């Protein structure tokens, strides 16, 4: 083999090092910098999911996922409205983040191993603990999911719901016939038009769908929960700077509830508190904001503009909403009340 002259070899080494450093710099470029320069956040959501993301006739979005996106905008810009909501089908959810078309995915997405490790996403935290179930018309007389032998079941394709239905069907040898859809509204319409014997989804999704039926009392959600569904938000993989901003913004929502701080009392607490924990949380002392690259008052802006986790839950999912999901005694309650909502330490 002909040897490469020494000066050419050195040049190649230098060139490769330059390309590596350029590629590394590009890979390390954070969504945080892109968002700050752009002036708003691109939030990826779905089409319609009552309580989580719905749009009114004026084009205003509301729901749990919407509030999560708005809270991040409040943290970064001091303005919860500096966010654009991009509604996509399930099949586009992952590519929207990987391609850079979206900065934050928050659309009732279940955190699974394959999605976390193979889709170019990093899931950051769980904002709603759920489980998959079935809804049927009362008049068919089905009392249990185990009675669905040979039934047709409406399900959204490309979701964990479809995979869980397959597992449940195989385990119990029910001969269920899945009827798949790639649009939740079309799936719901098919079920309510009696094109399927049952519909399966997260139980929160079933409650949301039932609330939109012409006669909700004609339908019943069966008692079985066949899976664990940790609804979570995600960002582009290996972007720790942006991930830190998003996950600690959510932590602030939970921490505020733990501390008894609401959008209504935060101004008074901010003026009068002598509690070092509260002072540190609200940025009145210490410099916890610096590591995130956020203003000192970022937690104040989040809670003042969006509220704490409990407020967010109650206005979107609570007993006085269409979903009427009482949080007390569930996994979505605070840890000190027996739930799983737990903020990491602001220290």
Domain borders along the chain are 31-130+230-337, 132-227
- The tokens describing 299, both together, are 């937690």
- Which two tokens mark 154? 């409406």
pLDDT confidence of residue 27: 40
Dist. CA 131–CA 235, nearest whole Å: 23
pLDDT at 90: 77
Classify domain 31-130+230-337 at the CATH topology level.
D-Maltodextrin-Binding Protein; domain 2 (3.40.190)
C-alpha distances in Å from residue 55, one per residue of 47, 273, 312: 9, 38, 17
**Can you list the positions of beta strands (E) in the chain?**
41-45, 54-55, 61-62, 83-87, 104-110, 121-130, 132-137, 152-156, 177-181, 198-202, 219-221, 229-236
Evaluate if residue 13 carries a pLDDT over 60: no
Q: Interhelix angle for 64-77 vs 298-306, to 10°?
A: 150
| 128 touches 231 (CB < 8 A) | yes
Q: What's the order of all strands across the beta sheet hosting 198-202?
A: 177-181, 152-156, 198-202, 132-137, 219-221
d(CA 100, CA 104): 10
37-65: pLDDT as tens digits: 999 999 999 988 899 999 999 999 999 99
Average pLDDT over residues 257-261: 98
User: Count of alpha carbons within 13 Å of 148, Cβ hemisphere only?
Assistant: 28
Place of tokens 């490469």: 4
DSSP 8-state class, residue 48:
-
Instruction: Render pLDDT for 274-295 as a digit per residue (tens, 0 to 9).
Output: 999 999 999 999 999 999 999 9
Q: CA 158: distance to chain centroid?
A: 17
Question: Whole-number mean pLDDT of the chain?
Answer: 91
Q: What is the pTM of this model?
A: 0.85
**CA–CA gap between residue 314 and residue 318 (Å, rounded):** 4
Tokens 């179930």 sit at which residue?
A: 133
| Range in 16-25, 114-123, 202-211, 285-294 with the lowest mean pLDDT | 16-25
Is the CB of residue 110 less than 8 Å from the CB of residue 229? Answer: yes
Residues 43, 102: Cα–Cα separation, whole Å: 6
Q: Is the domain defined by 132-227 classed in CATH 3.40.190.10?
A: yes
Same topology for domains 31-130+230-337 and 132-227, yes or no? yes
* pLDDT higher than threshold 90 for residue 223: yes
**% of the chain beyond a pLDDT of 90:** 83
pLDDT of residue 14: 39
d(CA 45, CA 78): 22
């Amino acid at each position: 083999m002909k040897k490469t002259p020494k000066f050419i070899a050195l040049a190649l080494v230098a060139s490769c090092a330059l390309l590596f450093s350029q590629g590394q710099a590009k890979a390390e470029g954070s969504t945080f910098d892109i968002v700050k320069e752009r002036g708003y956040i691109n939030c990826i959501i779905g089409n319609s999911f009552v309580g989580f993301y719905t749009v009114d006739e004026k084009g205003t979005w509301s729901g749990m996922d919407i509030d999560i996106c708005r809270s991040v905008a409040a943290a970064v810009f001091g303005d919860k409205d500096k966010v654009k909501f991009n509604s996509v089908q399930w099949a586009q959810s992952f590519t929207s983040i990987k391609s850079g078309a979206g900065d934050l995915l928050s659309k009732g997405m279940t955190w699974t191993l394959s999605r976390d490790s193979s889709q170019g996403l990093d899931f950051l935290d769980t904002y709603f603990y759920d489980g998959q179930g079935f809804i049927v018309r009362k008049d068919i007389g089905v009392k249990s999911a185990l009675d669905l032998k040979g039934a047709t079941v409406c399900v959204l394709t490309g979701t964990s719901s479809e995979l869980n239905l397959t597992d449940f069907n195989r385990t119990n040898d029910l001969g269920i016939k899945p009827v798949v859809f790639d649009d939740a509204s079309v799936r719901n319409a098919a079920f309510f038009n009696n094109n399927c014997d049952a519909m399966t989804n997260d139980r929160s999704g079933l409650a949301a769908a039932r609330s939109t039926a012409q006669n909700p009392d004609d339908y019943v959600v069966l008692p079985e929960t066949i899976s664990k569904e940790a609804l979570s938000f995600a960002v582009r993989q290996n972007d720790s700077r942006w991930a830190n901003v998003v996950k600690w913004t959510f932590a602030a929502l939970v921490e505020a509830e733990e501390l008894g701080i609401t959008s209504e009392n935060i101004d008074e607490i901010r003026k009068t508190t002598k509690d070092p924990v509260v002072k540190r949380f609200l940025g009145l002392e210490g410099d916890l904001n610096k590591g995130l690259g956020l203003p000192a008052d970022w937690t104040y802006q989040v809670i003042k503009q969006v509220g704490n986790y409990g407020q967010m839950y109650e206005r979107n999912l609570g007993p006085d909403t269409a979903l009427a999901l009482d949080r007390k005694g569930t996994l979505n309650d605070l840890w000190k009340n027996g739930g799983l909502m737990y903020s990491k330490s602001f220290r």
